[in-house]
Structure 1
Amino acid sequence: MAEVGFPGQHTTTTTVTSSTTVQTNIRFDPAYVQTAPGVLKVIQVMCSLLGFISVQAASYQYRGYGSFYSWISMIAFWFTGILLGLYLFHLVEKFYKIPWLKMELGFCGLWALFYLLASSLVVSVYNNAGYSAAAFFGFAAMFAYAIDAFLKIRAVQAGGLAQGTRVVSKQTTSAVTVTTPPREGY
Protein backbone atom coordinates (compact mmCIF):
# COMPACT_ATOMS: atom_id res chain seq x y z
CA MET A 1 0.00 0.00 0.00
CA ALA A 2 1.37 3.43 -0.92
CA GLU A 3 1.94 5.92 1.84
CA VAL A 4 -0.23 9.01 1.93
CA GLY A 5 1.59 12.20 0.85
CA PHE A 6 4.09 10.53 -1.47
CA PRO A 7 3.39 10.63 -5.19
CA GLY A 8 3.22 7.37 -7.01
CA GLN A 9 5.27 8.64 -9.94
CA HIS A 10 7.45 11.74 -10.49
CA THR A 11 8.98 12.72 -13.84
CA THR A 12 11.37 15.61 -14.44
CA THR A 13 12.42 16.63 -17.94
CA THR A 14 15.25 19.12 -18.54
CA THR A 15 15.71 20.56 -22.00
CA VAL A 16 18.85 22.57 -22.81
CA THR A 17 18.91 24.50 -26.05
CA SER A 18 21.85 26.43 -27.40
CA SER A 19 21.96 28.81 -30.33
CA THR A 20 25.09 30.41 -31.73
CA THR A 21 24.79 33.70 -33.58
CA VAL A 22 27.77 34.80 -35.65
CA GLN A 23 28.23 37.01 -38.67
CA THR A 24 30.69 35.44 -41.07
CA ASN A 25 31.35 38.54 -43.15
CA ILE A 26 34.68 40.32 -42.76
CA ARG A 27 34.29 43.87 -41.49
CA PHE A 28 36.40 46.43 -39.63
CA ASP A 29 35.16 47.15 -36.11
CA PRO A 30 37.20 49.84 -34.31
CA ALA A 31 34.88 49.56 -31.30
CA TYR A 32 36.71 46.34 -30.31
CA VAL A 33 39.60 48.33 -28.84
CA GLN A 34 37.14 49.91 -26.39
CA THR A 35 36.23 46.55 -24.87
CA ALA A 36 38.21 45.03 -21.99
CA PRO A 37 39.91 42.35 -24.14
CA GLY A 38 40.70 44.96 -26.79
CA VAL A 39 42.27 47.35 -24.28
CA LEU A 40 44.31 44.50 -22.81
CA LYS A 41 45.61 43.50 -26.25
CA VAL A 42 46.63 47.08 -27.04
CA ILE A 43 48.44 47.33 -23.69
CA GLN A 44 50.18 43.99 -24.34
CA VAL A 45 51.33 45.03 -27.81
CA MET A 46 52.59 48.43 -26.63
CA CYS A 47 54.39 47.07 -23.56
CA SER A 48 56.01 44.32 -25.61
CA LEU A 49 57.27 46.77 -28.23
CA LEU A 50 58.48 49.36 -25.71
CA GLY A 51 60.19 46.66 -23.62
CA PHE A 52 61.96 45.33 -26.71
CA ILE A 53 63.15 48.82 -27.67
CA SER A 54 64.37 49.42 -24.11
CA VAL A 55 66.46 46.23 -24.09
CA GLN A 56 67.90 46.98 -27.50
CA ALA A 57 68.85 50.51 -26.43
CA ALA A 58 70.58 49.25 -23.28
CA SER A 59 74.23 48.38 -23.06
CA TYR A 60 74.95 44.65 -22.88
CA GLN A 61 71.76 43.85 -24.79
CA TYR A 62 73.27 40.66 -26.19
CA ARG A 63 73.82 38.97 -22.86
CA GLY A 64 71.64 35.94 -22.17
CA TYR A 65 68.95 37.69 -20.18
CA GLY A 66 68.69 40.55 -22.67
CA SER A 67 68.34 38.11 -25.55
CA PHE A 68 65.76 36.08 -23.61
CA TYR A 69 63.74 39.22 -22.88
CA SER A 70 63.95 40.28 -26.54
CA TRP A 71 62.74 36.87 -27.66
CA ILE A 72 59.82 36.88 -25.20
CA SER A 73 58.76 40.41 -26.11
CA MET A 74 58.92 39.89 -29.87
CA ILE A 75 56.92 36.64 -29.81
CA ALA A 76 54.33 38.42 -27.64
CA PHE A 77 54.30 41.48 -29.91
CA TRP A 78 53.71 39.52 -33.11
CA PHE A 79 51.26 36.95 -31.71
CA THR A 80 49.13 39.51 -29.87
CA GLY A 81 49.35 42.05 -32.72
CA ILE A 82 48.15 39.51 -35.27
CA LEU A 83 45.40 38.39 -32.90
CA LEU A 84 44.34 42.01 -32.41
CA GLY A 85 44.08 42.38 -36.19
CA LEU A 86 42.00 39.20 -36.42
CA TYR A 87 39.60 40.56 -33.80
CA LEU A 88 39.40 44.01 -35.41
CA PHE A 89 38.36 42.51 -38.75
CA HIS A 90 36.11 39.84 -37.17
CA LEU A 91 38.11 36.97 -38.65
CA VAL A 92 37.88 35.24 -35.27
CA GLU A 93 34.10 35.35 -35.61
CA LYS A 94 34.29 34.00 -39.15
CA PHE A 95 36.18 30.93 -37.91
CA TYR A 96 34.22 30.52 -34.67
CA LYS A 97 34.66 26.71 -34.59
CA ILE A 98 38.35 27.13 -33.74
CA PRO A 99 38.80 27.16 -29.94
CA TRP A 100 40.18 30.71 -29.83
CA LEU A 101 39.53 31.22 -26.13
CA LYS A 102 41.44 28.10 -25.11
CA MET A 103 44.39 29.00 -27.35
CA GLU A 104 44.48 32.52 -25.96
CA LEU A 105 44.17 31.20 -22.41
CA GLY A 106 47.22 28.99 -22.91
CA PHE A 107 49.25 31.75 -24.53
CA CYS A 108 48.31 34.43 -21.99
CA GLY A 109 49.04 32.19 -19.02
CA LEU A 110 52.37 31.07 -20.43
CA TRP A 111 53.43 34.57 -21.42
CA ALA A 112 52.52 35.98 -18.01
CA LEU A 113 54.99 33.48 -16.53
CA PHE A 114 57.61 34.20 -19.21
CA TYR A 115 57.33 37.94 -18.63
CA LEU A 116 57.66 37.42 -14.87
CA LEU A 117 60.87 35.48 -15.44
CA ALA A 118 62.33 37.76 -18.12
CA SER A 119 61.50 40.97 -16.24
CA SER A 120 62.97 39.58 -13.02
CA LEU A 121 66.17 38.76 -14.89
CA VAL A 122 66.61 42.18 -16.48
CA VAL A 123 65.71 44.09 -13.31
CA SER A 124 68.56 42.29 -11.54
CA VAL A 125 71.10 44.14 -13.72
CA TYR A 126 72.47 46.89 -11.52
CA ASN A 127 72.61 50.49 -12.75
CA ASN A 128 71.29 50.04 -16.29
CA ALA A 129 68.44 52.36 -17.27
CA GLY A 130 67.49 50.42 -20.40
CA TYR A 131 67.02 47.20 -18.48
CA SER A 132 65.08 49.00 -15.76
CA ALA A 133 62.68 50.43 -18.34
CA ALA A 134 62.37 47.00 -19.96
CA ALA A 135 61.57 45.49 -16.56
CA PHE A 136 58.83 48.08 -16.00
CA PHE A 137 57.22 47.34 -19.38
CA GLY A 138 57.68 43.62 -18.83
CA PHE A 139 55.91 43.66 -15.48
CA ALA A 140 53.11 45.78 -16.99
CA ALA A 141 52.77 43.25 -19.82
CA MET A 142 52.83 40.42 -17.27
CA PHE A 143 49.88 41.94 -15.39
CA ALA A 144 47.98 42.52 -18.65
CA TYR A 145 48.53 38.91 -19.74
CA ALA A 146 47.55 37.59 -16.29
CA ILE A 147 44.31 39.61 -16.27
CA ASP A 148 43.59 38.46 -19.82
CA ALA A 149 44.18 34.82 -18.82
CA PHE A 150 41.78 35.25 -15.89
CA LEU A 151 39.11 36.67 -18.20
CA LYS A 152 39.68 33.81 -20.65
CA ILE A 153 39.27 31.22 -17.86
CA ARG A 154 35.93 32.73 -16.92
CA ALA A 155 34.81 32.83 -20.56
CA VAL A 156 35.82 29.20 -21.19
CA GLN A 157 34.02 28.05 -18.05
CA ALA A 158 30.89 29.93 -19.13
CA GLY A 159 31.03 28.29 -22.57
CA GLY A 160 31.40 31.63 -24.36
CA LEU A 161 32.68 32.43 -27.80
CA ALA A 162 35.62 34.67 -28.61
CA GLN A 163 33.37 36.78 -30.85
CA GLY A 164 29.68 36.43 -31.56
CA THR A 165 27.02 35.31 -29.12
CA ARG A 166 25.89 31.99 -27.79
CA VAL A 167 22.57 31.83 -25.99
CA VAL A 168 21.98 28.81 -23.77
CA SER A 169 18.52 28.37 -22.33
CA LYS A 170 17.44 25.70 -19.90
CA GLN A 171 13.85 24.62 -19.45
CA THR A 172 12.80 22.21 -16.71
CA THR A 173 9.36 20.64 -16.58
CA SER A 174 8.03 18.36 -13.88
CA ALA A 175 5.09 16.03 -14.05
CA VAL A 176 3.67 14.39 -10.98
CA THR A 177 1.19 11.54 -11.16
CA VAL A 178 -0.44 10.58 -7.88
CA THR A 179 -2.04 7.21 -7.48
CA THR A 180 -4.67 7.23 -4.74
CA PRO A 181 -5.09 3.94 -2.90
CA PRO A 182 -8.63 2.57 -2.84
CA ARG A 183 -10.67 3.56 0.21
CA GLU A 184 -11.51 0.89 2.66
CA GLY A 185 -15.07 0.38 3.74
CA TYR A 186 -16.43 1.79 7.04
Structure 2
Amino acid sequence: MSQTEFPGQHTTTTTYSSTHVITSIRWDPSYIQTLPGILKIIQILGSLIGFICIEASGISNHTRGGFFNFVALVAFFFTGILLLFYLLHIIEKTYKIPWLMVEFGFCAIWTVAYLAVSIVAATYGADSYVAAAFFGFCCMVAYGIDAFLKYAALKRGEIAQGERIVQKYPNITTP
Protein backbone atom coordinates (compact mmCIF):
# COMPACT_ATOMS: atom_id res chain seq x y z
CA MET A 1 0.00 0.00 0.00
CA SER A 2 1.22 3.38 -0.84
CA GLN A 3 0.59 6.18 1.52
CA THR A 4 -0.26 9.55 0.24
CA GLU A 5 2.04 12.10 1.67
CA PHE A 6 1.10 15.45 3.01
CA PRO A 7 2.13 18.08 0.48
CA GLY A 8 5.32 19.96 1.12
CA GLN A 9 3.44 23.19 1.48
CA HIS A 10 -0.11 24.44 1.67
CA THR A 11 -1.79 27.78 1.28
CA THR A 12 -4.25 29.35 3.67
CA THR A 13 -5.99 32.66 3.21
CA THR A 14 -6.46 35.04 6.09
CA THR A 15 -9.13 37.70 5.76
CA TYR A 16 -8.93 40.97 7.66
CA SER A 17 -11.68 43.55 7.67
CA SER A 18 -11.78 46.95 9.24
CA THR A 19 -14.77 49.24 9.54
CA HIS A 20 -14.36 53.00 9.59
CA VAL A 21 -17.38 55.08 10.57
CA ILE A 22 -17.90 58.55 11.97
CA THR A 23 -20.52 58.23 14.68
CA SER A 24 -21.54 61.87 14.90
CA ILE A 25 -24.93 62.96 13.59
CA ARG A 26 -24.45 65.56 10.87
CA TRP A 27 -26.37 66.90 7.88
CA ASP A 28 -24.96 65.70 4.54
CA PRO A 29 -27.15 66.35 1.46
CA SER A 30 -24.63 64.67 -0.88
CA TYR A 31 -26.48 61.35 -0.38
CA ILE A 32 -29.28 62.65 -2.63
CA GLN A 33 -26.81 62.74 -5.55
CA THR A 34 -26.00 59.02 -5.29
CA LEU A 35 -28.00 56.32 -7.09
CA PRO A 36 -29.58 54.98 -3.86
CA GLY A 37 -30.52 58.55 -2.90
CA ILE A 38 -32.09 59.22 -6.31
CA LEU A 39 -34.01 55.94 -6.07
CA LYS A 40 -35.35 56.92 -2.64
CA ILE A 41 -36.54 60.28 -4.01
CA ILE A 42 -38.30 58.49 -6.91
CA GLN A 43 -39.89 56.03 -4.46
CA ILE A 44 -41.13 58.80 -2.17
CA LEU A 45 -42.52 60.96 -4.98
CA GLY A 46 -44.12 58.02 -6.80
CA SER A 47 -45.78 56.81 -3.61
CA LEU A 48 -47.08 60.28 -2.78
CA ILE A 49 -48.40 60.98 -6.30
CA GLY A 50 -50.03 57.53 -6.47
CA PHE A 51 -51.71 58.16 -3.12
CA ILE A 52 -52.95 61.57 -4.31
CA CYS A 53 -54.33 60.02 -7.53
CA ILE A 54 -56.38 57.51 -5.54
CA GLU A 55 -57.60 60.11 -3.04
CA ALA A 56 -58.56 62.57 -5.78
CA SER A 57 -60.63 59.96 -7.59
CA GLY A 58 -63.75 60.40 -5.50
CA ILE A 59 -63.93 56.61 -5.05
CA SER A 60 -60.92 56.24 -2.79
CA ASN A 61 -62.81 54.23 -0.18
CA HIS A 62 -63.13 51.28 -2.55
CA THR A 63 -61.15 48.23 -1.39
CA ARG A 64 -58.73 48.59 -4.31
CA GLY A 65 -58.01 52.18 -3.36
CA GLY A 66 -57.50 51.30 0.28
CA PHE A 67 -55.09 48.51 -0.68
CA PHE A 68 -53.10 50.86 -2.92
CA ASN A 69 -53.08 53.62 -0.32
CA PHE A 70 -51.84 51.27 2.40
CA VAL A 71 -48.87 50.18 0.28
CA ALA A 72 -48.16 53.74 -0.88
CA LEU A 73 -48.28 55.28 2.60
CA VAL A 74 -46.13 52.62 4.25
CA ALA A 75 -43.61 53.02 1.41
CA PHE A 76 -43.75 56.82 1.69
CA PHE A 77 -43.12 56.94 5.43
CA PHE A 78 -40.58 54.08 5.65
CA THR A 79 -38.54 55.35 2.71
CA GLY A 80 -38.81 58.95 3.93
CA ILE A 81 -37.50 57.99 7.35
CA LEU A 82 -34.67 56.00 5.79
CA LEU A 83 -33.75 58.96 3.57
CA LEU A 84 -33.68 61.22 6.62
CA PHE A 85 -31.50 58.68 8.46
CA TYR A 86 -29.03 58.67 5.54
CA LEU A 87 -28.98 62.46 5.28
CA LEU A 88 -28.27 62.78 9.02
CA HIS A 89 -25.83 59.82 9.03
CA ILE A 90 -27.90 58.00 11.65
CA ILE A 91 -27.38 54.86 9.54
CA GLU A 92 -23.61 55.31 9.96
CA LYS A 93 -23.95 55.98 13.68
CA THR A 94 -25.90 52.72 14.16
CA TYR A 95 -23.73 50.66 11.78
CA LYS A 96 -24.08 47.50 13.89
CA ILE A 97 -27.72 47.20 12.77
CA PRO A 98 -27.77 45.28 9.47
CA TRP A 99 -29.31 48.17 7.53
CA LEU A 100 -28.59 46.65 4.12
CA MET A 101 -30.48 43.50 5.11
CA VAL A 102 -33.40 45.58 6.43
CA GLU A 103 -33.52 47.66 3.25
CA PHE A 104 -33.14 44.63 0.99
CA GLY A 105 -36.04 42.88 2.70
CA PHE A 106 -38.26 45.95 2.57
CA CYS A 107 -37.42 46.72 -1.07
CA ALA A 108 -38.00 43.12 -2.16
CA ILE A 109 -41.37 42.91 -0.37
CA TRP A 110 -42.47 46.32 -1.63
CA THR A 111 -41.49 45.45 -5.21
CA VAL A 112 -43.98 42.58 -5.10
CA ALA A 113 -46.54 44.68 -3.20
CA TYR A 114 -46.40 47.48 -5.77
CA LEU A 115 -46.74 44.94 -8.58
CA ALA A 116 -49.91 43.59 -6.96
CA VAL A 117 -51.55 46.92 -6.12
CA SER A 118 -50.67 48.44 -9.48
CA ILE A 119 -52.29 45.55 -11.34
CA VAL A 120 -55.36 45.80 -9.11
CA ALA A 121 -55.58 49.58 -9.64
CA ALA A 122 -55.03 49.35 -13.41
CA THR A 123 -57.85 46.84 -13.83
CA TYR A 124 -60.40 49.05 -12.03
CA GLY A 125 -60.93 51.24 -15.05
CA ALA A 126 -61.15 54.71 -13.50
CA ASP A 127 -58.66 57.16 -14.99
CA SER A 128 -57.28 58.21 -11.61
CA TYR A 129 -56.70 54.56 -10.69
CA VAL A 130 -54.86 54.01 -13.98
CA ALA A 131 -52.68 57.05 -13.22
CA ALA A 132 -52.01 55.68 -9.73
CA ALA A 133 -51.13 52.31 -11.30
CA PHE A 134 -48.57 54.04 -13.54
CA PHE A 135 -46.86 55.60 -10.53
CA GLY A 136 -47.14 52.28 -8.72
CA PHE A 137 -45.31 50.53 -11.55
CA CYS A 138 -42.63 53.25 -11.47
CA CYS A 139 -42.22 52.62 -7.73
CA MET A 140 -42.09 48.87 -8.37
CA VAL A 141 -39.17 49.35 -10.78
CA ALA A 142 -37.38 51.72 -8.38
CA TYR A 143 -37.79 49.32 -5.45
CA GLY A 144 -36.67 46.40 -7.64
CA ILE A 145 -33.48 48.20 -8.67
CA ASP A 146 -32.87 49.21 -5.06
CA ALA A 147 -33.36 45.62 -3.89
CA PHE A 148 -30.85 44.41 -6.48
CA LEU A 149 -28.29 47.03 -5.40
CA LYS A 150 -28.76 46.12 -1.72
CA TYR A 151 -28.36 42.41 -2.52
CA ALA A 152 -25.15 43.09 -4.45
CA ALA A 153 -23.80 45.23 -1.58
CA LEU A 154 -24.62 42.46 0.91
CA LYS A 155 -22.72 39.94 -1.22
CA ARG A 156 -19.69 42.24 -1.30
CA GLY A 157 -19.76 42.54 2.51
CA GLU A 158 -20.41 46.27 2.54
CA ILE A 159 -22.14 48.29 5.21
CA ALA A 160 -24.95 50.73 4.44
CA GLN A 161 -23.01 53.89 5.24
CA GLY A 162 -19.40 54.33 6.19
CA GLU A 163 -16.48 52.27 4.99
CA ARG A 164 -15.54 48.64 5.40
CA ILE A 165 -12.23 47.47 3.99
CA VAL A 166 -11.82 43.74 3.45
CA GLN A 167 -8.34 42.45 2.66
CA LYS A 168 -7.28 38.87 1.98
CA TYR A 169 -3.74 37.69 2.51
CA PRO A 170 -2.54 34.30 1.26
CA ASN A 171 -0.14 32.50 3.60
CA ILE A 172 2.10 29.73 2.28
CA THR A 173 3.23 27.35 4.99
CA THR A 174 5.94 24.73 4.64
CA PRO A 175 6.52 22.08 7.29
Q: TM-score range by the shorter chain?
A: over 0.9
Q: CA deviation at 1:9?
A: 2.2
Q: Give the percent of matched residue pairs that are identical in Structure 1 and Structure 2.
A: 48
**Unmatched 5+ stretches in structure 1:** 1-5, 178-186
Residue of 140, 159, 163 corresponding to 2:161: 163
Q: Is the 8 A contact 1:16 1:170 kept in 2?
A: yes
Q: CA deviation at 1:60?
A: 1.6
Give the TM-score, by structure 2 length. Answer: 0.94
**Residues 28-177 of structure 1 correspond to what in structure 2 (within 5 A)?**
28-126=27-125, 128-176=126-174
- Computing the radius of gyration from Cα coordinates, the structure with the larger value is 1
Structure 2 residue identity aligned to 1:39 = I
Structure 1 residue identity aligned to 2:65 = G
Q: How far, CA to CA, are the matches of 1:110 and 1:7 in structure 2?
A: 51
Q: How far, CA to CA, are the matches of 1:93 and 1:67 in structure 2?
A: 35
Q: Is the 8 A contact 1:116 1:142 kept in 2?
A: yes
**Unmatched 5+ stretches in structure 2:** none
Q: CA deviation at 1:8?
A: 5.9
**Residues 16-31 of structure 1 correspond to what in structure 2 (within 5 A)?**
16-31=15-30
Of residues 26-35 and 9-18 in structure 1, the stretch that sits farther from structure 2 once superposed is 9-18
Q: How many residues align?
A: 172
- Tell me how large the CA RMSD over aligned residues is: 1.6
User: CA distance change for structure 1 residues 59 and 8 in 2, over 3 Å: closer, same or farther?
Assistant: closer
User: CA distance change for structure 1 residues 134 and 8 in 2, over 3 Å: closer, same or farther?
Assistant: closer
Q: CA deviation at 1:10?
A: 1.1
User: CA distance change for structure 1 residues 172 and 129 in 2, over 3 Å: closer, same or farther?
Assistant: same
Q: Is the 8 A contact 1:7 1:176 kept in 2?
A: no
Q: Deviations over 1:53-94 (max 9, x none)?
A: 000001321111110001110000000000000000000000
Q: Deviations over 1:1-46 (max 9, x none)?
A: xxxxx99621323221110000001111111000010000000000
Q: How far, CA to CA, are the matches of 2:7 and 2:69 in structure 1?
A: 72
Q: Is the 8 A contact 1:48 1:74 kept in 2?
A: yes
Q: Deviations over 1:121-162 (max 9, x none)?
A: 010012x22111101100000000000000011011111100
**Which residue number corresponds to residue 183 of structure 1?**
none
What is the SS of the residue equivalent to 2:17?
strand
Give the TM-score, by structure 1 length. Answer: 0.88
Q: How far, CA to CA, are the matches of 1:98 and 1:50 in structure 2?
A: 31
